[in-house]
Amino acid sequence: MSTQFRASYYQHNGSSITTAPSLHSCSSFIISKLPDHPLSGNKRSLLLGTSLSFNSNKETTSVIRRRKRKNFEHGIVASSSNVATPIWESWKPQKGSSNPSLSDILWPSAGAFAAMAILGKMDQILAPKGFSITIAPLGAVCAVLFATPSTPAARKYNVFMSQIGCAAIGVLAFSIFGPGWLARSAGLAASIAFMIYARAPHPPAASLPILFIDGVKLHSLNFWYALFPGAAGCIILCLIVS
């Protein structure tokens, strides 16, 4: 039956047997062979529309599959290129960065020198009262403010939010766990989580909890440590930068 149909189809269209028929031409041939009756016109249009929609859907599906396969192959190539990057690449200077000029070296250094000189003079004034405003984290703050002023860590919001928040976390960790490794670990982890949550990354502030836990002279400040000496010193540094 199928052989007779195939032969009659090729005879009807006058094509050679080596040429494969398309779905649209085959459906048109089948519809032309339907018997005539009053509803045959409607049925023919319905069958023809169904065959055309099926053909277009089939072509669209094949195009989508080819695109997905192509994107997948490109993704494999991209990922393999990342894996091929040498592990020692991060130990080299950043590519494309130009050599710093003399002014790029002198001005940040001079600003840090002036900032530490002013803080040192204030230490002399506060020494009779047993206070000192110069702490190690302020040196890291100077490096951020003077050497990389355009980075997010140098923004005023990041500086003061992190300095106040991390210092308070250090006091809280010491109050709960006492002196020791557990207070240091909890204080540092909580400080990093706070900076991420507050969208205020400022690396120098992460050392404030450890400084308070290990600094016996700072314990008397209690929660005033959130404002002094870290935040107070940052006010002076920001005024110098401005």
The domain ranges of the chain are 105-241
Determine the pLDDT at residue 65.
Answer: 66
Determine the pLDDT at residue 59.
Answer: 52
Determine the pLDDT at residue 131.
Answer: 84
What is the torsion angle, in degrees rounded to the nearest 10, for the CA atoms of residue 109, residue 133, residue 207 and residue 106?
Answer: 0
What stretches in the chain show pLDDT beneath 50? 1-21, 23-24, 27, 29-31, 34, 36-40, 43-44, 46-48, 50-52, 54, 72-81
pTM above 0.75, yes or no: no
List pLDDT tens digits, range 172-184: 999 999 999 999 9
| Phi, psi (deg, nearest 5) at residue 152 | -60, -30
Alpha helix ranges (H) inside the chain: 2-13, 23-32, 40-83, 102-126, 136-142, 156-177, 181-197, 208-214, 230-241
Determine the pLDDT at residue 81.
Answer: 46
